[in-house]
């Protein structure tokens, strides 16, 4: 069966360098097809690829995340049929989103049960939980969970995307001191209203804002309620600062940087972003795609999977008898006056994680069931 590796990231992130390293060190002896497009980082030396026995298929319908109905699906099926490769490497352009690439692979190859919890901005790196099989049923719970980021703030520059990847609209002298930046953070703590940026996936009238933005259009957007739980100035002087942000679902950190710059009177944008936590999953628990590939070359990659109940670690455990477990597996409720009110991770006596459940008036009902499923954080 052909394996597929997706190398995703913003322009300049080093995707091409990593691909070259993996071809040389990890993929030795494998039959490989590299799929990239004309907007990607076409910096891989042709001679190197020829010597390594790599077949290149180029597409010209644009970034694969934007042209999923174009020739991407056909190209993917064709290279499998024509070359029967051991592995396909996909390098989308720097504006590609991992979520759309995963969706394209799922659609083209009919791989249904692959999902993730929350997209990352093209500029962002860090924690992105990936769900496999029935564990995809848990993704919705993590999407609504709190997130934590380390962000770079660049003062004195305003761009159309609210980060340094966009076109510069304004520049201003920066007179704000570190103390002034620290003081300005307070007005963004707690529940606030935030206007989503034009370069975002928010839909208005059935159309995504970024699609309108790429056509040069800007429309009025209604503010949305978000919560900034923690906002800390870690370091910085002059025009460059580093922030730590713990926030609710739906928060745009680049908009936070934009609004902070406006509050300081000099404008600002986001210069870097790293997600350090998504719900219960921290960066220290994550593995990189390179680590996954290297591990899989010699070991069973299933060993990297985390149990799906880790998603619900904030809830206490509840142990039920094997008879009660059988009822729950059949979709029935379980009544036991010893059960206390609350939401629980429910386990059978033998240790099997069964479901996320809710107890009210001594009756345990299923919120979502999980039987022998796992999740992988990358």
Can 100 be counted among the known catalytic residues?
A: no
List % helix, strand, coil for the chain (3-state, nearest 5): 30, 35, 40
3-state secondary structure at position 100: helix
Distance separating alpha carbons of residues 8 and 65, to the nearest angstrom: 11
The tokens for 196 are 């989503």
Distance separating alpha carbons of residues 131 and 114, to the nearest angstrom: 6
Q: Is the dihedral of CA 196, 201, 204, 210 positive or negative?
A: positive
The tokens for 370 are 């999980």
Distance separating alpha carbons of residues 279 and 296, to the nearest angstrom: 27
CA dihedral 188, 191, 193, 197 (to 10 degrees): 70
Active-site choice (121, 163, 259, 309): 121
Beta strands in 168-325 (DSSP E): 168-171, 190-194, 203-204, 207-208, 224-237, 240-247, 268-278, 281-282, 306-307, 317-320
3-state secondary structure at position 189: coil
User: What positions carry a catalytic annotation?
Assistant: 121
């Amino acid at each position: 069966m052909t394996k597929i590796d997706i190398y995703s990231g913003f322009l300049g992130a080093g995707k091409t360098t990593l691909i070259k390293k993996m071809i040389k060190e990890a993929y030795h002896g494998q039959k490989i097809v590299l799929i990239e497009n004309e907007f990607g980082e076409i910096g891989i030396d042709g001679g190197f690829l020829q010597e390594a026995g790599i077949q290149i298929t180029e597409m010209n319908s644009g970034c694969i995340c934007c042209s999923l109905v174009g020739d991407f699906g056909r190209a993917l099926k064709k290279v499998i049929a024509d070359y029967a490769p051991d592995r396909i490497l996909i390098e989308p352009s720097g504006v590609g989103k991992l979520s759309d690439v995963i969706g394209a692979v799922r659609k083209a190859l009919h791989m249904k049960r692959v999902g993730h919890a929350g997209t990352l901005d093209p500029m962002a790196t860090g924690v992105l939980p990936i769900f496999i099989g029935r564990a995809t049923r848990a993704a919705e719970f993590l999407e609504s969970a709190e997130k934590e980021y380390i962000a770079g703030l660049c003062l004195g520059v305003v761009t159309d995307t609210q980060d340094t990847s966009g076109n510069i609209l304004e520049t201003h002298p920066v007179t704000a001191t570190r103390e002034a930046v620290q003081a300005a953070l307070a007005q963004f703590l707690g529940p606030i209203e935030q206007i989503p940026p034009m370069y975002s996936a928010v839909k208005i009238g059935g159309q995504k804002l970024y699609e309108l933005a790429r056509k040069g259009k800007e429309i009025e957007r209604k503010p949305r309620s978000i919560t900034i739980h923690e906002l800390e100035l870690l370091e910085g002087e002059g025009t460059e600062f580093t922030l730590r942000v713990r926030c609710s679902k739906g928060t745009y950190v680049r908009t936070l940087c934009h609004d902070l710059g406006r509050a300081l009177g000099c404008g600002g944008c986001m210069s870097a972003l790293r997600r350090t936590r998504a719900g219960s999953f921290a960066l220290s628990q994550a593995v990189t795609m390179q680590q996954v590939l290297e591990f899989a070359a010699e070991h069973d990659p299933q060993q990297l999977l985390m149990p799906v109940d880790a998603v619900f670690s904030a809830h206490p455990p509840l142990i039920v008898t094997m008879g009660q477990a059988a009822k729950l597996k059949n979709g029935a409720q379980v009544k036991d006056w010893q059960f206390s009110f609350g939401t629980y991770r429910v386990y059978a006596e033998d240790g099997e994680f069964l479901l996320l459940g809710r107890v009210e008036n001594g009756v345990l009902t299923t919120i979502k069931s999980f039987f022998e499923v796992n999740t992988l954080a990358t």
